[in-house]
Each structure stands twice: as structure tokens, then as C-alpha cells.
Amino acid sequence: MNDLHQMAHDARVAAWTLAASDITVRNAALLAMADELEARKAEIFAANKADLAKAEQDNLAAPLLGRLKFAEEKLAAVTAGLRALADLPDPIGQTTLSRELTEGLKLYRITCPIGVIGVIFESRPDALVQIASLALKSGNAVLLKGGREAMQTNRALCEALRAAADSSGLPADFAQLLESREDVAAMLKEDTLIDLIIPRGSNEFVRYIMDNSRIPVLGHADGVCHVYVDKAADLNMAVNIAVDSKTQNVAVCNAMETLLVHRGIAADYLPMLLPALQAKNVKLLGDDTVQSIIPCLPATEEDWHAEYLDFTLSIKVVNSLDDAIDHVNRYGSHHTDSIVTADESAAQAFMTRVDSAGVYHNVSTRFADGFVYGFGAEVGIATGKIHARGPMGLEGLTTYKYKLLGSGQLMAEMKNGTRRYTHVLLNEDCPL
């Protein structure tokens, strides 16, 4: 087991250096990381082969083996990602508010790094590079806990990233690797040194983290996403969106799990949808009305909560737009939900009242992604509402501080009327 207190302390010291570092240095480090990963690729691929061999011995399922594999294609993707990240503007040091408070006294709100962030993620080793590089770009230090199946690969990747940071004049300890559940439990205790925990996983896992730490938690949990086919839907479009949302990739959090259909068009729509889903071998579960229209198994109360991550779909017929909204808010996970309709007022009501990070009109739920949104990459998709919501890129890894530049102003002067508040918006960058 690692000494997590020492690791968190080292991360804190590294974070202070990063917070004061120049963007040219951080960008150079990102380019050096891409070069270093390419230079060490034999070593990294060998480590990954060892992980894969072990995983095969342990009878890991084929899709998981695919996620674990790290070879030429994934290396090319992560190095391209690192070089693209170096081109993005600096997320820290940006002035987001400037105001004169009284004569000669100027307030600036400036973006800055959060500090030390603990991230717990699944078996994909490319996630390690994405998370660590987003952290470095935004001036943060990270403690990383990846899937145990990827341990050898993660070690090799993390060492390459640390070496690249060091060779660029930044602290290698900006990224450190945790290796066990005991490490995670110890990390959760370091609330004076760690500013934020980002757990990616199931609702149960995120709850475990919240129950065991005083550190703020941004959960990246289940995606129980809905498509609602309104009575005013273009039914052909609704077939295509349902098929894409369900089957384009079933193993991801932005895949649809429940389809809601307005009663007024159910008898027309469901028979159109059936062959398209049958062609993809989707298992169908429906309520009584759905069962009376197309062949399917009965859906139970649990199905409305279920994140299948598989070729399975629950279908419910609703009486109204209001019922659809109520269902989504009650059973959904506040991730991403889409309405298909030609009625703009119905779309507006759905998008205003559905309490989810993503509310879509006439588009597949599969678009909920940081790269797709143009954020460069993502740390994950936040399912809470506090700080960051939905696909979380560089901006989600920043906070802000207020800088107040004066020339001896005193509160006593404001209270006795010697000075008065001017409160003039300035629209200028902070000079310090």
C-alpha cells in the first residue's frame, strides 16, 4: 500500500508550482508527453500485453478486453489528443469579471486551478492520459486510480507522462498512481490536502465515495437516458433516433435505456420501430399497452430504473407530454434525454422542465460527449448539478479567485461616507 498522505502532500506541492506556471511551459509539457509516449511505445505495448494476457486468463469479457487493449491505434489517438490539447487556450488566468468598486479599487475574478484532484476511473488506459493531460493543462495535480486489469499499462503510461513533465521543468508529482482499494480508502481521508474527488462508475460506487469522504465529490455515474416520441413527432426520424440512441454503441452512458411513446401515435410508431430494432437483435420490454401493439416481454418497475448497457430496451406508452417529463425526472439519472417532435412548444416545455444535464430536441442521445461538444476531451460526464454538469472538460477543472487591487482603501471610509461605491463594470484583464 502506498503512503497516501505523503502522495497527497507531494501533489499539493506540485499543484502550487503548476498554479504559478506559464501556459507555454504547460503546453510544451503536453507536446513532450506525446513524444515520450511514442518513444516508449515498445515498453508500453509490452506492459499492455502482460495486462491482456492476465485478463484473458481471468476470462474477462471480450468488450472489456477491447477497452483494455492499448496498441498503435490508441497510441495515435492519445498523442493526437495531447497535441490538440496543447493548441487550446489557457483555461486559467482568465478574467471573467472586472468591476471598479470605488475610486481606485478594482475587482477581478480570475480562473485558477482547483488544486489536487483524485480521479477514479475504469479499465481504459487511454483515460489515464486524457485525465492527466487535462489536469496538467488546467494547472492541477491528480491522484489517479485506474482499473486493476490495466495496472501494468497504467504504470508505463504514468511514468512516461511524469518523465515528460519533469523534462519540461514541471513537477513529475503532478500525476501519481494509486494501485489498490486500500489506496483509495486512504485517499478519501486526506480532506485537508485534496480538493476534489471525481469517481467514474456506478451509482453505488459514487455513493460509497460520498459516504466515505469529506472531500467534495463530482460523481460521474449511471446514464439512464430517455428518448420521448411525442404525438407530433416525424415518425421516420423517431425510428432513426431511437435506433441510433439504443444501438450505435450500447455500452456507453449516453445510450438510450428507456423509450417513451405518446399514446396518440403508439399504434403507428411501434410497428414501424419493431423491425429496425429486431434487425439489431434488441431485446424489448414493454408496459401493457406496448405488449398489446408489438411482441415484447413485460417491463417491471425495476426496468424503468435500469441502465442495461446492452441490447435491451424498455418501452412505455405515456398519456401526455407531462407524463413523459414526470417519468424522466422520476426514473432518469439526469444525464441526457431527447424529445422527438415537430411541435416547438412541446420541445421547449420538455427542455425547460426535464432536469437533466442534456436536454435534446430531434437528435440522438449519443451526442452527449466532451469531444462532440467541442471541449477537446472530457474528464467524464458529471451527473450532479454542482460545479460542473454534463461533459466535463478543462473548464470543469478550474475554479476562480477574486483579486482586489487597491491603493489603501478602508471600509471605515465607505461607512463614514468619505468614499462611495461606484460599481462600474470594466471589461478589462487583471494587470497582476
**Site for a second copy, residues 244 to 303, rule: CB under 8 A:** 244, 248-249
DSSP letter for 248, please.
S
How many binding residues for a second copy (CB under 8 A)?
A: 75
The residue (of 115 and 171) whose beta carbon lies closer to a second copy is 115
Which of 11, 152, 360, 392: binder of a second copy (CB under 8 A)?
360
Interstrand relation of 297-298 and 283-286 (parallel, antiparallel or unpaired) = parallel
Given a contact cutoff of 8 angstroms between Cβ atoms, the answer to whether 29 and 171 are in contact is: no
Q: Is residue 423 within the footprint of a second copy (CB under 8 A)?
A: yes
Kindly state whether residue 353 participates in binding a second copy, applying the rule CB under 8 A. Answer: yes
**Residue 90 gets which letter from DSSP?**
P
Length of the chain: 432
Name residues whose C-beta falls within 8 Å of residue 194's C-beta, 6 or more positions apart in sequence.
Answer: 8, 11, 115, 116, 117, 118, 143, 187, 215
Binding segment (CB under 8 A) for a second copy, from list 73-81, 141-149, 242-250, 289-297: 242-250
CA angle 85, 175, 160 (to 5 degrees): 75
Write down the least CB distance from residue 330 to a second copy, Å.
10
Q: Does 205 bind a second copy (CB under 8 A)?
A: no
Our finding on whether 324 is near a second copy (CB under 8 A) is: no
Q: Which of 64, 101, 235, 274 binds a second copy (CB under 8 A)?
A: 101
> Which residues from 401-420 bind a second copy, rule CB under 8 A?
401-412, 414-415
Q: Which of 39, 77, 88, 107 binds a second copy (CB under 8 A)?
A: 107
Q: Which helix (H) or strand (E) holds 225?
A: strand 225-229
In the list 16, 41, 83, 312, the residue contacting a second copy (rule: CB under 8 A) is: 16
Please identify which residue in 211, 281, 417, 427 interacts with a second copy, judged by CB under 8 A: 211
Does residue 393 contact residue 375 with C-beta atoms inside 8 Å? yes
Beta strands in 28-163 (DSSP E): 95-102, 105-113, 116-120, 141-145
Residues 6+ apart with CB under 8 A from 57: none
Minimum CB–partner distance for residue 292 and a second copy (Å) = 28
Q: Are strands 95-102 and 424-425 parallel, antiparallel or unpaired?
A: antiparallel
Q: In this structure, what is the dihedral angle of CA atoms 405, 410, 416, 422, given to the nearest 10 degrees?
A: 0
| Cell output for 390 | 454534463
DSSP 3-state of 125: helix
Scan residues 182-201 and list those touching a second copy (CB under 8 A): 195-196
Query: How far is C-alpha 221 from the geometric centre of its chain's CA atoms?
Result: 9
Give the residue with the Cβ less far from a second copy, 97 or 267: 97
Question: Pick from 116, 110, 195, 107: which is nearest to 401 by CA?
Answer: 110
Hey, what's the cell of 414?
465607505
Binds a second copy (CB under 8 A): choice among 31, 272, 349, 426: 349
Query: CB-wise, 304 or 360, nearer to a second copy?
Result: 360
Q: Contacting a second copy (CB under 8 A), which of 180, 385, 428, 429?
A: 385
Instruction: Give the residue carrying C-alpha cell 417519468.
Output: 327
Residues 18-57 that bind a second copy (CB under 8 A): 19-20
59 binds a second copy (CB under 8 A): no
Min. distance of Cβ 371 from a second copy in angstroms?
9
Residue 68: all three cell numbers together: 483494455
Among 5, 41, 54, 99, binds a second copy (CB under 8 A): 99
Nearer to a second copy, 50 or 359 (CB): 359
Binders of a second copy among residues 219 to 238 (CB under 8 A) are 234, 237
Contacting residue, 364, 377, 379, 383, with a second copy by CB under 8 A? 364
The piece of 119-127, 260-268, 303-311, 359-367 that touches a second copy (CB under 8 A) is: 359-367
Least distance to a second copy, CB of residue 15, Å: 9
368 within 8 A of 358, measured Cβ to Cβ: yes
